[in-house]
Structure 1
Amino acid sequence: MHDSTFHDALSDPVEPGTAAYATVDARGVLTSWSPGAQRLLGYTADEVRGRRGTDLLYTHADAARLVGRCQAEEATSLGSAVMRHRDGSRVEVGLWAHPLVPTAGELHWLIQAEGADAVRRRDLGRALLRGLFIESPFHIDVFDTQLRFVAQNARSLRGFANQAFGRTMREVAPAGALDMTAFEARQRQVLATGEALVATEVHSRDPDDPDRDRAWSETIVPLRSGSGEVIGLAHAVFEVTERVRARERLALVNDASSKIGSTLDVLRTAQELTDVAVPVFADHAYVNLLDPVFGGEEPVAGPVAESMPLRRAASSSVPGGPGNAVVSTGDVDLFTSGVGSLFTRALASREPVLLTGEEVLAELTAADPRRAALVREYGVHSWLLVPMSARGAALGAAVFVRFRGRQPFEADDVLLAQDFVARAAVSIDNARRYTRERTTALALQRSLLPQHLPVLGAVEAASRYLPATGHAVLGGQWFDVIPLSGARVALVVGDVAGQGLHSAVTMGRLRSTAVRTLADLDLSPDELLTHLDGQVDRLHDGQSEGASGGAAGTTCAYAAFDPISRRCVLARAGHPPPALVSADGRVEFLDLPGGPPLGLGGAPFESGEVTLTDGDLLVLYTDGLVESRGRSTETGLERLREVLSDPQLTSPSGLDDVCDVVTRRLLSDRTQDDVALLVARVRGLDSDRHVTWELASEPEVVGQARALATGKLAEWGLEDLEFITELVVSELVTNAIRYGKPPIHLRLIRDRSLICEVTDASSTSPHIRRAIETDEGGRGLYMVAQFVQLWGTRYHPRGKTIWAEQPLPEDLLAPPSDH
């Protein structure tokens, strides 16, 4: 057969990249030359036809090697070679030889050549495929559109059928290992949408250990044909069990940080510890405290006596768990004392004790047969005891139990338990010290609280402070009502962390100095708590060594009511939520962001906002009102809701009566904590008692502003205040035009004083200075300060407001409006 047969076949091929083809006969003579070969080496077909193929090789060594390898009558790789370009340059190529048998019977060879870049790309592609599908740490499956296996890599999963091809996952997976309905739903979703599902976290049961849960990261990618049609699915699955466990442990630590120690109550803190642990960490948990600690006394220094009893302080169980089946809260746990008991050994060594179910049974069978029977009944298989101590003194111990469908505690679990038990120990120790030192000087406590609440137009308030029953206490609870600029009013209730004299003194410093000073700066509630947090830190840092109590852990609720907008902005630091009693009798606990107690660090404080109507009651209180031994916070809040929902309180009754009813009904069985309560009835400022004008930022507007102000004064019958008001308006408006930014607003408020406010969009604050004789200006603010009763600046997100107050004549003082 003539060699044109091969030439015709290759004369116009479709060739990707730099692929080139040529044919040689049995003697090595070139018989055809493709366009791709011409692009690769520069020779035309006419220039090379009839020449020996080895003539195009750059070295004789390559020629000898290639001729020697091109002997077998089968396709073979000739490897890499260096060929000579028509311009004399070197061209690195990869060569493959394919035998061709024409009809005449003479053997020919089809030689395929690719440039070095193409060879490298092909090698990289093969390496990529091998790495992803064969050597990859991922388990990879390929499914068709009927969800049947068509390919798998070598990483098979334990418990799955070996012969999977042509079968679905439902047919090859172990029973109960996967949520097959959800799995197939994800597959069909990708088939329907053509969009990949990346890194979906799924869980399965370990076939070797049914109690062990395994986590996987699953990615499902659609496979498309050349036309773009989805013709299959590729799954890549990677085990992330350890990563998920680490994430869960971190979440538990964060949860413990935010929930343990929310109050300064020993039993409440112990309960918070067990509540955090169950069910995320354990199926059952309880806390035993040494008898002195349980009673709020100083723990015994040094080794704990083997006869020292431990009392049950708190316990939590999953539904159907043992609960308080053996020991009730407040009772002595007999299993904990005695020579050589587990608790005695743990408190002596300060090291955790981790036992299997069999080991626990061995300890209990002789010492406590009843509890041993419960261990068998519930199938306890892992038992962890963690001693609790603070400041070098033992406080008690926490026990965590797992049974039935939970895997045993591991080394990382022990470390985690030690972490949040240590956090709880600090909180319990603080609570214990608080309880012990609140036993003296009730008179000092009362002297540090407001003796009289101010009479204001926007708020009518009443308060109560009640010491713990049966004790002469010195505590850190406080309340206050603080007039603010612009007829606004601040309401504050706080609870200093600590006990005794130091706690009371700290309370006095915070209430009368820190809070009032910060309130005078017109800070927003969240900013005020942030500054107060820093002040508490400084008070705590400045505490002398060995001093009793401390400011860290102080809780506080702060509200600022604006009678013009009727908006109330509130923030709290580790404090119970305020209650709002609407004028129609509805009661709700305001859902405010719960910041951490002051001085403990943590997340920044945030404010919440609520719009009030005339006659609404705002109830602020310390946690002693709703918490007590044997009563949870949730129960106390519900009881407070019931009391405040009484129809008698929705009528315009006196606020002193409201305080009496609340304290009498909620605190009749109170035994332990002192209480501060503040009840305020709000009322807005009538629209005819305030006015706001927007002014142009032009010097000519100053005269217009004076005219507007004097006109309003005449309407209010305050002509005697015109001179000073004109001076104030002129100075404040002029300063806003010269040094501020538009928009500029002028507002007059007639409350229990006459208030003039000028607002602009600049945050630059004016300062009083004494002008010398040669100065042409600089005397305005100085004169304003001489004539007005008070003046100041408050900042807001859009700029600042400068305000000045003038006292009203006695016969014109506005009485509170009746609503």
Structure 2
Amino acid sequence: MTAPELTGTGGHVPAVAMIDADGVVTGWSRSAEDLFGYADADIVNRTAAVLLQPEGAAERLGDLLSRVAGREQWTSLAEVRHLDGTPVTVHLRGARVNPAPGRPRWLLWATPVAEAANSLLEPLVKRSPIGIGMFDRDLRYVWLNDTAARVPDFFPHRAVGSSVDDWPKDGIETLIAAARRLLADGVPVLDREIRRTTLDGREEHTFSISLFRLDGVDGEPVGVCSLAVDITHSRARQRLALLADASARIGTTLDVTKTAQEMAEFAVPALADYVTVDLAESVLPEGEPLQRLTATDVSIPVFRRAGAASIHPSFPESLWFQGEPVYVPPASPFTAVLSSGRSHFEPHLNTSAGTWLDLDPDRSKIIHDTRMHSLIIVPLRARGDVLGITVFVRTDNPAPFTEDDLTLAEQLAARAALSLDNARRYTREHNAALALQRSLLPRTLSGGDALAVAGRYLPSDMHNGVGGDWFDSILLPEGRIALVVGDVTGHGINAAATMGRLRTAVRTLAHMNLPPADLLTHLDRLVARMNEQDTANLLSPADMGATCLYVVYDPATRQFTLSAAGHPPPAVVTPGGEVSFPSVPVGTPIGLGFGSYEALTVDVAPGSVIALYTDGLVETRDADIDEGMARLSATLTDPALPLELLCSTVIDGMMGTRLAEDDIALLLARTL
């Protein structure tokens, strides 16, 4: 057996003692007397239990001896009691000497923790960039490495021999409470963030603190080890990276509700355990007006829930879900933030009696049941308007929100608010354009006594439903019927307005009883003059350009007369299901002012179907118009179907599951 080295730091001799198999002290050195205060005569032939804390000392000594009975050497931390009752945390080593069968004797070396750490772990511990400290069971510092000792500006009371009980209450009470729990349950405390400010108040840093319990060889706790890492600059870099990520992931569409949900989902769990985005009525105008909703005895409807996210799939924190009105007491942090435009920061949520929660028992119960303990409410402000609020809550995460968290929440909210405002403005313009477009399309279609007519309009998914495609049926003198389909260049409110002007112009010219080719010629010249008049309004010819197919059916001759201005030909289906595309002479699009158009006459039998459509039905990015017309033929082979059902069959057959890349107008007419 090789005994351990007997020198400690600086050549100091460790305390040396000898005990027998029963734990009776049989030898005691002068260095042991210096360390523990017991003279040789006071301790030899007495049980070593006197060196332990009195509670259960004999049992703990017995446990230690049974644990090491079969070993040749062992090492551990231990808390030994000085003669004056003061605890001394030591690094304890033992070695079996002169063993008799079943009756080992142990040579013990005890070194104070400070000397043991410096001598044994100096390369790793003493010079580590991580601040390391050791507490005894009373939470007094017994050792600090160099890094921990170099930050007195942030931890002015950190010194060997100081106790946490003597520290001022300056924001680390929860950490001290966690250390006391650690001594009892042994569960490590990991990555607990705390903010510390220098004594002069000029500098503020964020530290990540982890705590581990130190156990002796008998399994009993002897102290706590703390690890502290300054993460100030690391946290700043993380925050910048998070904000950069937020710019890419929040506001991916011009949809208010989706943007709100993206904001909530992004912040969970990166910042909070539960996040809601509640918007004012002006931002979500499509719902039932909040003013019409009935108030409760204690709260009024102020917001509408637009987005919510939680670390719990069942959303136990939520009283309301997406789309529902949110009720709050008139005197609450939510209404205060909405009216003032300033954030509400409550790192330690006050749930005691006498607060606004007394007026909101339902919310108070949820706060209690889900253990909400930290709260941030941030206004969503954009271009001078407060659009609503976003609420950040921590439940499972035990760390309270910090000032850094508040700053991050406000920066996230600012980015989200700008996206929400863009979406709100777009939605208003889109709704106005959509309303205009729908008002300009025919509400009913009539084919008189000669035709059965049905139409279908499918907005573009890529352009959110606002375009310039249209169809119409017009009753003419002598029982004739005009059918027209057109496609205005572009999308948006200008295209919808242009569509309305062209539809009105076509109806006016149709009632002049002009032949199809003459009608398109007049329409082209009319639109060209409109372009010239609108020069001051910055409308280019392209803004007023359109294609058009104009067809007149004469039941007396059973003939369709067709003329096209840059538009695809119609499909004509015989009663037997044969599909053809008449070769209509195609003139220039409407609006150029120099078009010359020709007409084609097609004879049809009773029960025939003619299909007029815009290019969005037959043309995609992946297939040209010829392929689309071939597919259209396959969907028109059953002309006997009711026309509304045939419209659906055509649309479903042509679109399948793909999104509409352009507006689609379809007009079907069956001869009677």
TM-score tier, shorter chain, comes to 0.3 to 0.5
Bigger relative CO (Cα 8 Å, ≥ 6 apart): 2
Q: What is the TM-score of this pair, normalised by structure 2?
A: 0.36
